[in-house]
Amino acid sequence: MPTSPTFHGKALVLGDNDLADSLVARLRQSGVPVDHLKSPALSTLDAQLQELWQSGVSLHVFLTTAHDADANWAADDPIGFRRRREPGLQVPYRLCQLWMQRVIDAEQMDDATLVTVVRGGGRLGISPLDGSPDQVSLETGSMSGLTKAMSIEAWVRGYRDTPMLVIDPARDQSPNEIVDGVWRELAVPSYDEEVVVSPDGRTVVSGRHTPLPSGAGSQHPGNTRYPLTPGGVWVVAGGGRGITAMTAMALAERHDLSLHLLGMAPTPNIDAETRDHAIRDRADLRRVTMRRVQAAGDNPVKHWRQMEKAIEIDLTLRECERRGIQATYHSVDISDSDAVENALEIIRRTDGPIRGVIQGAGSGQDARFDRKRPDKVDQCLSAKIDGTVALAHATRQDPLEWFVGFGSISGRFGANGHTDYSAANDMLAKLIGGLGRRRPTTRCVTFHWHAWGDIGMATKPEAKLALDMIGMNFMPATEGLEHFLNELERGGDASEVLITDRRYIRKFFQGGEDEVPFSAPMLLPNRRGDAETPIAHTSEFTVTLDPTHDRFLNQHLVSGTPTLPMAMAVELIAEAAQIDSGRPVTALTEVRAIAPLKVPGDDAFAVELFHAPDQPSRWTLACDLRRRDGRLVQSRRPHFEAIAAHQQTTADDWTHSPENGRRLQIDMNWVEYLPPEAPVFHGQELRCLRKIGFTHDPAGSGAPLAVGTIVAPSPSHLAGDHRPLSGWITSPATVDAMLYAAGMLAGSVAARPSLPISIGRMDLGRLPLPGERVHVTARWLGELEGGRGGRLSVLAVGDNDQLIARLGDYRIGWLAS
């Protein structure tokens, strides 16, 4: 692959360290104008950036503050943390906040890049780590969480190809070797957001599914895997209400623990009448209270928020009393290290040494990145980060058995509107992991929680609406509680535990499933014949397609009706041929669209694939044709057919070729896809052709030529949540983008829309990497007889010029206007 990136404007490097100096030097060697901010003060940062960006915003930003000399403070060192809070957390956050919006306003986001080079010991700060804890900067967490959240927000705002990378150098690399790794990552864009680079290669993060025995909540577990002393004293930050209170009470009840709940709210003083009203009808109490406060001239919203907190804390204490749990509430600012130290000293004098800590404090507010208020950002960071440092410091002399953090999937993956919350949660995890490395006798673990459905911050109306809009499936509280108890009583030794659903794993860890030879992501569900018969060596297959969930159907409309794309039909035929023969399919010939397979409704339906007994290589894709009332009109109506070839190939066969049009220096424009009412409509997940330009073949023929760039998606973007990610033979969305480029070329020649008719030969190369730039060249070869369509050839190659796919004698037909 290429090792040198392309830069589109000036760069900005933040950090006072040798790596920052090496980045500046390499950029200047590459002819890129660069500004270097070493240790700017937060109070003057806005003015400095305004001056630097007078002639235009820096398009390429490199954050290296985690490599500063004083960035290796310990998780239980509040003095070191306070010294680094501004340069390591607040300054990078503010710089990115100003930068991203300036780049968007300048309409240059598609040419921009953001690289955050962290110092996570070659494991992105995820324990266990070998060697000294000093190899890791805990600031890795805040910087990686921020970068991931920015990437998600850019994606939501329509900027899907802007590299925003978290890069961790493997240990013992020189600054120049680290820069080499950064350059390689920028040279070949991918959807891998967190990458460890070394001279020998690269490593990415994935999730490992590790189920634990279920049913922990049903009986007392007896002995736990790690020490958990019955009757011990536990401190619970943010434990007065919500998820943290619920989980702490369940654990205390099972292990006879004494709870000390820390919270910012004052100690509650709720009278019996108000308490009963809240239990009976919380919504009515809210209406009555707000009317009364408003009549008195005060702020009803603010008053109710404070009153509701007091009610919830009071109810938690009453519930502890009902269950026989000894519980005390302490009003304390969790971010104030001295205040936490004093509160814990009082606890020790009354109850004894502290055995466990749950850090569940949190504060968050949805807002677009550029609209995040500094005071709200500071409040969010204080609850999660300052509070964790304070608790770690205050328990340094205790016989601490457990330090548990309640994070969020927003810290692991990033989240739209949650740049500060993502930064805080990822840093919470790295702080607790760092504490575990310093205190090997303490079990230190962070839960990256999925959104709970019945309780917690995700139930706020504004948060719930935002999560509903992205199709978030909420986790029932009973299930979350079981995960919590299982992990504490029977769990492993991972420092970070991710509790989420398969949809999120597939979306963010796109290569996370094991590769299965000759597996078939489309053919595995449902098969014609005996269900006990092994799938290999059968010559007939049935695939269930679902227009509600299969995005290749509901995002591909012909005259407003979901229609199976030829690119997906090709994939289905290739899978059937490969499973049937047990040999890889390397080409398809005589590919023919016989009749469009249109889907008039939302019901799932079956598609059959079979070959004739006397022609084992010729495959047909068919579907029963029925009336609207369900009556059969035609059994096995053919829609597509092709002949599968199985020649042996090597990587050398994929290396291409003078046909590669990307050698031509032509102007390319961003592709504007047609609206839903157009004759052919492609939805967002099929819009992989990003740029295209038109010219004429300079090799003598003068034929019309189109050159474009496709950004290859992960299979998870198109295939739906219920299809495996491994086993794909083609990249259907990439092939469809090749056909779209050919259609745009045909449209530029004849000013008419078209659909595929046939492909004389389709050679298959390697699969593109998710996020890789695929270079497509389409050539106009002439009109078909009678002027009913046209002939083209289409070639797609990867960033290293290896073949992705080649279409020879590709024929299209004109759609009626």
Task: Tell me which residues are annotated as active site.
Answer: 556, 736
Q: Structure tokens of 790?
A: 């046209």
Q: What is the layout of strands, in order, in the sheet containing 201-204?
A: 34-37, 11-14, 60-63, 113-117, 164-169, 194-198, 201-204
Backbone angles phi, psi at 743, to 5 degrees: -65, -35
Strand-pair partners of 168 = 196
Q: What is the CA radius of gyration of the chain?
A: 30
HEC readout, 347-398: HHHHHCCEEEEEECCCCCCCCCHHHCCHHHHHHHHHHHHHHHHHHHHHCCCC
Q: Residue 728: left if φ>0, alpha if ψ -120 to 50, beta else—which one? A: beta
Exposure of 652 in the CB half-sphere (CA atoms within 13 A):
1
Amino acid at 7: F
Strand-pair partners of 545 = 605
CA distance readout (Å), 19 to 91, 179, 296, 559, 690: 18, 8, 60, 56, 34
Backbone angles phi, psi at 275, to 5 degrees: -60, -45
Cβ pair 732, 738 in contact under 8 A: no
Q: Quick one: CA dihedral 365, 368, 369, 370, positive or negative?
A: negative
Single out the residue of 643, 545, 641 nearest to residue 593, CA to CA: 641
Orientation angle between helical segments 732-750 and 566-581, nearest 10 degrees = 140
- 487's enclosing H/E stretch is helix 477-490
- How many residues are present in the chain? 817
Buried-exposed string 434-456: b where 16+ CB fall within 10 A, e elsewhere: bbbbebeebbbbbbbbbbbbebb
Cα 791 to Cα 789: distance, rounded to the nearest angstrom: 7
The residues, any chain, with a CB within 8 Å of residue 338's CB and separated by 6 or more, are none
Q: Residue 559: left if φ>0, alpha if ψ -120 to 50, beta else—which one? A: left
End-to-end CA distance of the chain: 44
422 CB neighbour count, 10 Å cutoff: 32
Cβ pair 87, 37 in contact under 8 A: no
Cβ pair 373, 367 in contact under 8 A: yes
Cα 424 to Cα 141: distance, rounded to the nearest angstrom: 8
Strand-pair partners of 497 = 447
CA distance readout (Å), 179 to 19, 23, 353: 8, 6, 48
Cα 749 to Cα 812: distance, rounded to the nearest angstrom: 13
Cβ pair 792, 742 in contact under 8 A: yes
Alpha helices per DSSP H over 582-700? 651-654
Cβ pair 445, 404 in contact under 8 A: yes
Backbone angles phi, psi at 43, to 5 degrees: -65, -25
Strand-pair partners of 763 = 587, 806
Backbone angles phi, psi at 635, to 5 degrees: -80, 140
Q: Structure tokens of 720?
A: 């739906």
Q: Given 3-state DSSP classes, what are the helix, strand and coil percentages for the chain, each rounded to the nearest 5? A: 40, 25, 40
